[in-house]
Amino acid sequence: MSNEDLQRKAAALLALHRPGDPVVLPTVWDAWSAKVVVDAGFAALTVGSHPVADSVGKPDGEGMSYDDLMTRVAQITAAVDVPISVDIESGYGESASRLIGGLLSAGAVGLNIEDTVHSEGGRIRSDEDHAALVGELRKAADAAGVHVVINARTDLFLRQVGDESDRFDRAVHKLKLAAAAGADSLYPVGRHDDDTYRRLAEELPLPINAIALPGQDDPARFGPLGVGRISFGPFLQAALTEHITALVTPWR
């Protein structure tokens, strides 16, 4: 894929992020699931590390290698012609230039980067370290000539890190630093109530990413809360797992 094609797709992906009118990026894991989503009418998608790892028989939390993930991403981009963002977990211990280079070579134009460092016992990166990594990724993307869409994620809510009384404020502070370092959207991952989403949308300077459960959540819920991006994490694959189990169980 040429740099011009990558630039065009990156710009298209970024333009879809509109607070109050969120882009839905169904989370896929292989060429088949990606083609199903695109054929259903979606203009972009995200590749989830958890469902990809499950699909290749490896554990989530960087149980697969970055090369494993990029091999799968290249298969997906060969099957569909839409902008694709990729969950690169905490970076697989790779340099920013290697991460960006791998994504662009595989045809992807966006990424999630989280603050849980799986290779170091699951420690949480400090606010400054996480922002520094976002800044390094932005510089690497700039050097490559493509505005890769960076979705900066914090796991403070998901993992219930620290005291609950100031967790919201700590998450907002961390994400604001990531925004200043060059992120394009912010991902306070977790299942939040409406008031929390409203507060996040009001206090954060960039579109926020919400996680949704297809088949359970109301698609119309998130726009009025100010959300700018919706993805499914592992929940689309999990829903299919339940459905497949129900289909095959009578045939045992």
How confident is the model at residue 1, as a pLDDT? 84
Domain of 212 in residue numbering reads as 3-251
For the chain (length 252 residues), average pLDDT per consecutive 10?
Answer: 95 98 98 98 97 96 96 98 98 97 98 95 96 98 98 96 94 98 98 97 98 95 98 97 97 96
pTM score of the predicted model: 0.96
How confident is the model at residue 120, as a pLDDT? 92
* Burial group, residue 92, by CB count within 10 angstroms (0-12, 13-18, 19+): buried
Task: Check which CATH number belongs to the domain holding 225 and give it.
Answer: 3.20.20.60
Relative orientation angle of helices 167-181 and 127-144, to the nearest 10 degrees: 30
How many domains would you assign to the chain?
Answer: 1
